[in-house]
Structure 1
Amino acid sequence: MPLLHLRGVTRQFATIDGPALQILKGVDLDVAAHDRVSIVGRSGSGKSTLLNILGLIDQPTTGIVELDGEPVALMGGRMRDRLRGATVGFVFQQFNLIEGLTAAENVAVPLHYGAGRRYWQRHRLASEMLERVGLSHRIDTKATNLSGGEQQRVAIARALVRSPRLILADEPTGALDIETGGRIMDLLDEVAADAGAALVTITHDVAVAARASRMLRIVDGRLEQTSAVAA
């Protein structure tokens, strides 16, 4: 049984004075544990819309989405929120850090919704994850005082701190230089492997896309298997 199962997924958005805007048009996708999937496509092709559906942030207009064999459409909002928090780690293109908090406090935010050891050891776990992304010297620095690349690494640490089973990364190396970006992708691969997690990456970076075991291209709202990467 795949971790994620999508069949016939569509997503459309209403417009003010015209027909609905059709973004996704019958997407089929299975993602298993340990999968490494990259999705490429032109700007506006629906990549981020698909990522939001995979991460239970949004729901399709029509079609089936199952997580661990459970139909997402039958879940209430609170159940989806709990499942997303426990299962999915997001690396957003827009870092979404809380400006008034330090790097460690930002990374620890997902741990506030947990219980037991992870809750009580949240500062240590956050600090350890920041060390893994090369920011041990910035643990107590406010988010507003971090560079763009440092903020990206904090966002990645926050996504990984709960050892999610599904990691969704939207342009994870977009604000990083080539060397740092390579290290970050190594880290994402390492953490995913340690946790037995699936890693789905949306990227325009050919080198990042080529690291995946499966490369998919979104064209006209549909997914296609591809052996060559073109943005």
Structure 2
Amino acid sequence: MSILRAEGVTRSVLLPSEETLTILTGVDLVVDPGDRISVVGRSGSGKSTLLNLLGLIDAPTTGEILFDEQPVRALSSARRDRLRGASIGFVFQQFNLLPGRTALENVMTPLLYEPGAGFWRRRAIATRMLENVGLGHRLDSTPDKLSGGEQQRVAIARALVRRPRLILADEPTGALDLGTGQSVMELLERVADDTDAALVTITHDVAVAARSTRHYRLDAGHLRSVDEMVVAP
């Protein structure tokens, strides 16, 4: 059974001039457990809009998003928020760490919404996740005391601390140098492998995209499989 399915998804917005701007057109995508998917596209092609739809942050104008084969549109706002918090992990290009909070406190934050033992053991769980990403010695460091690569690893630890089934990475290496970026991708893939999570990476970097097993291009709002385009006669 798929984790997430997009069927004929479109997204459009009404401009102040009352003209309609179409951002996504007829997007179809199936995400299964363990998938490694990359989406490339130029700036303004709709990548961030697509990520918000896949992450249940936004709703399509037409078409359907299904999670565990259940239409997301039918869920209440509260149930959708709980589903996103429990099952989807976001890795943002700009990290979005809480300033003034330690690495440990940043990673503990998602566990404040964890039921039962996950809530009460949040410090131990967050500590173990930071150790997994090689930052066991930086638990008490605030973001301003961390390098760019260390901040990204904290962001990854925070995204994965609830063991999400779907990981959405938005330009995860965009702010990093080549060597650090490669290390971050290796780390992200390794931790995802541990839980058989699906990993969807939005990127403009062809080297990052090449690490995936399924490749898509977003162009003028249309999502196309690069793999199918390559093998087509």
- Asked if these proteins are the same fold (TM beyond 0.5), I'd say yes
Matches within 5 A, 1:47-196: 47-196=47-196
Q: For residues 24 and 85 of structure 1, what CA distance do their matches in structure 2 show?
A: 25
| 1:180-208 deviation digits (Å, cap 9, x = unpaired) | 22222122212222212110000112221
Q: For residues 134 and 217 of structure 2, what CA distance do their matches in structure 1 show?
A: 32
Q: CA deviation at 1:212?
A: 0.5
Secondary structure, counterpart of 1:187 in structure 2: helix
Q: Normalized against structure 1, the TM-score is what?
A: 0.94
| Mapped contact 1:133–1:184 kept (Cα < 8 A) | no
Q: CA deviation at 1:24?
A: 0.3
- Supply the AA of the counterpart residue of 2:218: I
Which aligned runs of 4 or more in structure 1 are off by greater than 6 angstroms? Answer: none
Counterpart for residue 23 of structure 2: 23
Secondary structure, counterpart of 1:96 in structure 2: coil
Q: For residues 144 and 74 of structure 2, what CA distance do their matches in structure 1 show?
A: 40
Where in structure 2 are there 5+ consecutive unaligned residues?
none
Where in structure 1 are there 5+ consecutive unaligned residues?
none
| 1:156-196 deviation digits (Å, cap 9, x = unpaired) | 11001111000000011122222222222122212222212
- Supply the AA of the counterpart residue of 1:91: V
Q: CA deviation at 1:18?
A: 4.1
- Supply the AA of the counterpart residue of 2:170: D
| Mapped contact 2:24–2:221 kept (Cα < 8 A) | yes
Q: Normalized against structure 2, the TM-score is what?
A: 0.93
Sequence identity (%): 61
Q: For residues 76 and 93 of structure 1, what CA distance do their matches in structure 2 show?
A: 29
| Mapped contact 1:102–1:140 kept (Cα < 8 A) | yes
Q: CA deviation at 1:105?
A: 0.3
Q: For residues 124 and 214 of structure 2, what CA distance do their matches in structure 1 show?
A: 35
Question: Aligned pair count?
Answer: 229
